[in-house]
Structures are given as C-alpha cells and as structure tokens.
Amino acid sequence: MRIGALSALTGLSRDTLRFYEKQGLIRSQPSSEPSNTYRDYPEDTAERLRMITDARDAGLSIADLKKLLDCMESGDLGAFDLDAFLDERIAQLEHVIATAQRTLDMLNGTRAAVAMSDQIHIPQ
Amino acid sequence: MRIGALSALTGLSRDTLRFYEKQGLIRSQPSSEPSNTYRDYPEDTAERLRMITDARDAGLSIADLKKLLDCMESGDLGAFDLDAFLDERIAQLEHVIATAQRTLDMLNGTRAAVAMSDQIHIPQ
DNA sequence: CAAAACCATTGACTCCACTCCATGGTTTTA
DNA sequence: TAAAACCATGGAGTGGAGTCAATGGTTTTG
C-alpha cells in the first residue's frame, strides 16, 4: 500500500505518516517496481496505526510507544525494565481516565446548569 | 496566600503558576502590605488549580479551559456558543476515556504475556 | 544583622509533535 | 500526451506548554 492510500485509510496526513516512520513507529519497503522511489507499507500498517493513534490520543508519547512496539515486535519481553515501564504507563492511563471522568462530570454539570438557565430564561 | 505556599500546596512550580496567571486561568491581588511587590492568591485558588490540572491531564487545552472558567465565573452562560462548545469538549473527553481504556487493555495484555513468559522461563 | 529563602518581571529557551515548503521525479487520467 | 495527482527527501517553521536565567527587590531565620 502506498502512502496516499494509508493516509486515506487512517485519516493521518502523509507528513504525519512519514514523521511516524522516521520515529520508528511504522516501517515500509521500497516498492516492487524499482523504477520509482515509492515506498510500500504492509497491509497491517493501518491496524498498527489505529493502536498508535489510540495511544497518542490517550497521552502516551511517541518515545514510549516506540519502546513498547519495539519490544512487542522483537518478542523481547524483559528488555530494559519492561515490567516497571508497563506499571508506569498503566498508572498513567488510569490517571488519565480518572481525571477525564472528573472533568467530564464537571462539564456535564455545567451543561445541566445551562439547560436550567435556558428553561427559566424570560424573553425580553 | 503567596506563590510559594500555593506551589507547595498544588505541586505546580512557581513558574507554572505565573504562567497560568498570565494565561488568565488564575488571579491574584497585590499583597496587603504595599511595601513589597508580592502577590496574594485567594484561598480557593488551590481548589481551582485542582480542576485545572485535572482538565489539563485529561487533555483540555489552556485556551479551552480559559473560555470555560471565564464564562462559569461571569455566570455568563450563553456566551459565544457555549452549548456547542460543551458538546465538543464532552465528546473529546469521552474519546480520551475510550482510547485510554483500549490502550490500558492492551498494556494489561502485554503485562500478562510478560508474566507468562516469566513463568515458563528456564534458567541457563 | 547577615545569610538564606522568598518574591516579581522580563525575555529567552526547550521540548514535543507535528506541518509546510522546495525540489525533482513518477503515475494516473481526461 | 499533457495536465493533474501522486511520491520521496531534506530542512525549516509552527504552536502549545511550560522552564530557566538574570536582575533586583523583600522576608525570614539562626
């Protein structure tokens, strides 16, 4: 798959995809016809990118993501201190969920207040 | 309360507090003794900052936070398009929660795999 | 009272995650 | 077949969110 198709499939810009590749989050091969300089992305790259965008949207950094993907791919569990690393990221995500939930509750409260004030609003 | 106390109370650096004040998220008054240039923060600022850090940790931007706090304070519900604004941020937070949950599940799976591989690990 | 700790202001600096641009080559399409 | 659309590479630029350092004043404390 070429970069344009991947971009259309994922909603990520070509620039972002190239950037992610430079950061080592995804990989590509030179196209089958060596007449051009185009690159070819494996079919499962879109899938991989869904994981990546989820993690990014949840607040994980590219550097962390790279570590994770690297050792998940190499099957090299036990690299550096994976266990501690996982514990930290898990705690981080739980924190994000908790704060997002609290903030969500606050906003829902605000929305309720707005609805209220709309209800008792007197024209003129 | 002076900035040092507020910093100790919230865990945010003085610089961050000054930065937040410049962005309009918090406010202060000149100290009671006008002999110095110190500023005094209302007692409830720490509380307010807890809201702010929650929202920041959940991924809300400072600009959005300022809009929210401004119109919550002015009681000016119905300013700009508050209703649409709230809907967007709420959707954003729900998205964060969903992606964080998916990512969390993935990491927990990874941790389980690590535990497994530990279990069947053969020394030497 | 002197040293240490605190404070304000200004402006420069850093880091992250993109995003844009210029250049030059390749495919697709009307 | 020519224009339009696509591609790669390299490097510069952007925006958000802080962070740091310099300067010069004020309080606290031993």
The set of strand D positions with any atom below 7 Å of a protein CB reads 6-9, 16-21, 25-27
| 3-state class (DSSP) for residue A68 | helix
Is strand D within 7 Å of residue B56 (CB)?
A: yes
Reported residue count of chain A is: 124
Confidence of residue A75 (pLDDT cuts 50, 70, 90): confident
The reply to whether A111 touches chain B by the CB within 8 Å rule is: yes
Q: Looking at residue B86, what is its pLDDT? A: 96
Q: Looking at residue A117, what is its pLDDT? A: 75
The distance (Å) linking the CA of B63 with the C1' of D16 is 10
The distance (Å) linking the CA of B64 with the C1' of D11 is 33
Chain B neighbors of A123, CB-CB under 8 A: none
What would the pLDDT profile of A25-45 be if each residue is shown by its tens digit?
999 999 887 788 899 999 999
Identify the H or E element spanning A3. helix A3-10
User: Which of A53, A78, A103 is closest, CB to CB, to B58?
Assistant: A103
Q: Looking at residue B123, what is its pLDDT? A: 57
Q: Looking at residue A59, what is its pLDDT? A: 98
Q: Looking at residue B79, what is its pLDDT? A: 65
pLDDT at A124 over 60: no
Q: One-letter amino acid identity for B40?
A: D
CA distance B60 to B93: 8
CA distance A77 to A94: 23
The distance (Å) linking the CA of A59 with the C1' of D18 is 17
Task: State the average pLDDT over residues A8-33.
Answer: 96
Confidence of residue A79 (pLDDT cuts 50, 70, 90): low
pLDDT at A123 over 90: no
Q: One-letter amino acid identity for A79?
A: A
CA distance A48 to A80: 23
Residues near strand C (C-beta below 7 A) are: A 13, 15-16, 18-19, 33, 35-38, 56, 61-63; B 2-5, 7, 14, 18, 28, 37-39
Residue that wins the pLDDT comparison between B80 and A7: A7
How many Cβ atoms sit within 10 Å of the Cβ of residue B45? 23
CA distance A46 to B123: 39
How many Cβ atoms sit within 10 Å of the Cβ of residue A9? 15
Per-10-residue mean pLDDT of chain B, 124 residues long, equals 97 98 97 86 98 98 97 77 94 98 96 80 60
Q: Looking at residue B22, what is its pLDDT? A: 98
Q: Which domains does chain A have, with CATH numbers?
A: 1-58 (1.10.1660.10)
- Most A CBs within 10 A among B51, B93, B103, hence the mutation to make, goes to B103
How many helices (H) and strands (E) are present in chain B, helices listed first?
5, 2
Token representation of residue B40: 């005094």
- Say yes or no for a CB contact (<8 Å) between A51 and B101: no
The reply to whether B91 touches chain A by the CB within 8 Å rule is: no
Residue that wins the pLDDT comparison between A17 and A121: A17
Q: Looking at residue A122, what is its pLDDT? A: 66
- In angstroms, the separation between the Cα of residue A12 and the nearest Cα of chain B is 16
Q: Which residues pair with A79 in a beta bridge?
A: none
Is strand D within 7 Å of residue A4 (CB)?
A: yes
